[in-house]
Amino acid sequence: SQTIHQWPATLVQPVGSPLSLECTVEGTSNPNLYWYRQAAGRGLQLLFYSVGIGQISSEVPQNLSASRPQDRQFILSSKKLLLSDSGFYLCAWSRESRVNEQYFGPGTRLTVT
């Protein structure tokens, strides 16, 4: 069966510090991978998605970036965090298909102080 991991689970970082969130998927190959952000009490906003190694599409211009160094690894980064980067970050995967359900990881709760 497939499993998706995210770490860390929670993170408190000062403004201007760097960020690295990691997501890995087990039990499948060549998945589509996604990063979402959820503000408190709101729906999810798609940040990045990837259909393969090194292939990243950005949905929202911001100070965040994503990378996919391996088939089942997806990393969300920032060089300098802003207060507005606080939120709940969720990684998801789906099978290589145009319309398919996505399965989410447990999420990382980021607070920028």
In angstroms, give the least distance from the CB of 16 to other proteins. Answer: 26
Which residues of the shown chain bind other proteins in the complex (CB under 8 A)? 32, 34, 42-44, 46, 49, 51, 59, 88, 90, 92, 94, 97-107, 109
| Residue 84 DSSP label | G
Q: How many Cβ atoms from other residues are within 10 Å of residue 14's Cβ?
A: 8
In angstroms, give the least distance from the CB of 79 to other proteins. Answer: 26
CB closer to other proteins out of 28 and 104: 104
Q: How many Cβ atoms from other residues are within 10 Å of residue 63's Cβ?
A: 13
In angstroms, give the least distance from the CB of 107 to other proteins. Answer: 5
CB closer to other proteins out of 34 and 74: 34
| DSSP per-residue letters across 28-63 | -SS-EEEEEEE-TTS-EEEEEEEEETTEEEESS-SS
